[in-house]
Chains A and B, each alone.
Chain A
Amino acid sequence: MKIIPDFAKGMGRTLKHAIGTSFAGEADTVSYPEQEKPRPARFRGRHILNTYENGLEKCIGCSLCAAACPADAIWVEAAENDPENRVSPGERYAARYEINMLRCIFCGYCEEACPTGAVQLGMDYKLVDEQGEQHDWSKRDSFIFTKEMMLVEHGKGRPDPLSEALDERLKENPDHDRVW
């Protein structure tokens, strides 16, 4: 006969939740397109390719990200920099930088492998929304994101907790060698 207090307890619990949800608006779900849940600071979304303040790309075309990628989703083709008209500060730059978003598992190993902090996983997760109506998603090729789609201006990238911490350290010690 333990079943009776057990049932009463369960019914009480559900009633408490029902009252909380309907009168106090404590629903755990959100109306998605209008509202979004806050993403955590280290959220791994769609990739971005960072640039320096002077407009040069951080990527030096070393392909370490492609080597680190467990899903084999990254394709990098490097080219020599023209000293007159540089694309990146290093010897080489990425002439092609493509990520197949259908293969990508958003693990973030590319970001860890990158020596210059060029590729980062951004905060955006609505891959389809951002490319606009004219993008034909019925073709598999359209999921290969190119360099142009991922490049961001300096300071427009993700608010990186690590680089923010680095900025703090630079303020404290201006002689600190900022490698990337």
Chain B
Amino acid sequence: MSLIEFLTNPYVLGFIKALVVFAAMMSMVPLLIYAERKIVADVQVRLGPNRLGPLGVLQPLADAIKLMMKEDILPAGVDKFIYYTAPFLAIVLALCAAAVIPFGPASWAVVVDFNHSLLYSLAISSISVYAVALAGWASNNKYSLMGSLRAAAQMISYELGMGLSLIALVMVTGTLSISQIVAQQNVMGWNILRAPTLFIAFIVFVICGVAETNRAPFDLAEAETELTAGFHTEYSAFKFAIFFMAEYVNMLIISALVTGLFLGGWSGPGVHYDMVTHTVAGGWPFVILGIFWYLVKIACFIFFYFWLRASLPRFRYDQLMNFGWKVLVPVGLANIFLVGIFFAFKNHWF
């Protein structure tokens, strides 16, 4: 068995791809932490980290070392098994969602590509609430419990809006495969413009995405001002670091999903996909170009995340629930109806 044969074995190839995506995601986290601290500092008219390394780029590394060296505290009365499992559940589920992201226009640029990857990513993001809920429940702390209660309620409500916005999208694309949805956009144009009301689905999806990752202005689950740190109040040292990493990986996943589903994914100048042969014109250099465009779009969306966090105050709990159930869900439903009418007229069903 030659080396090439060994490497192209589907299991070995899958393992290698998973390893690469894992490494890429985890190495993005310190970069994101640095970027967030610098951008929030800029918004707040201050300098941000600037001591360690040129322009302070080594600050996240120092933070990581500090967190690893800290004492690993086990509070009294915690449910040990769940308490230790919750952070790992958070990071594992966040990384699982990365498996179906098509980073480039080739089969080797996505870890696993199957027909219902959109459903899979929705399912994974729904299970993620378990990490937060279990962390709060196992901590034996009122603040943690309040935080995880909020997180559970918030994620269930916003999952609904997200699902409704994606139904409208799937009505347009006719497929549940994320890589197919992205490939279509290379030929048909970005999904956000493909039907007159699909931009509403985009807005609903973006809002729900921010809420799903528990980021400001929807960070009620860890609202520092009221709940000290919410669901991870009792977590210290590396367990806290893992929650932190999971949050950033989740942000990357949501950004990748938004860009992939609505903003063209890897399509960009120079990348032309052939829907018949399922290859990109020009071979692998253009796949790399596609990956580059995808990363640029993700970076723009990540910036939007940070900008949002630095600008908007946190929602109150009742405002959050009202917004989810009385605005996003009806808007999502109406949007499905509107997209349906649009296609009915377009296909001359009347």
Contacts and interface: CB of A to CB of B under 8 A. Distances in A.
Interface size class of A (residues with CB under 8 A): 10 to 19
Nearest to B323: A3
Interface of B: 38-39, 41-47, 50, 307-308, 310-312
Interface in A136-155: none
A15 interface: yes
11 contacts: A11-B307, A13-B311, A14-B311, A15-B307, A17-B45, A18-B43, A22-B38, A27-B41, A29-B45, A29-B47, A31-B50
B311 A22 contact: no
Q: Give 7 closest A-B pairs by Cβ, nearest first.
A: A18-B42, A14-B311, A21-B42, A29-B46, A18-B43, A22-B42, A14-B43
Contacts of A14: 43, 307, 310-311
A7 B42 contact: no
B205 to A, nearest CB: 17
A20 interface: yes
Looking at B46, B308, B311, B312, the one whose CB has the most chain A CB atoms below 10 A away is: B311
B312 A28 contact: no
Contact of A17 (B43, B47, B50, B308): B43
Contacts of A13: 311
A159 interface: no
Contacts, number: 45
A26 interface: yes
Looking at B39, B43, B308, B310, the one whose CB has the most chain A CB atoms below 10 A away is: B43
Interface of A: 7, 10-11, 13-15, 17-22, 26-29, 31
Contact of B312 (A10, A20, A26, A31): A10
Contacts of A27: 41, 45-47
Contacts of A10: 311-312
B46 A11 contact: no
A130 to B, nearest CB: 24
Contacts of B308: 11
A11 B307 CA distance: 8
A11 B305 CA distance: 12
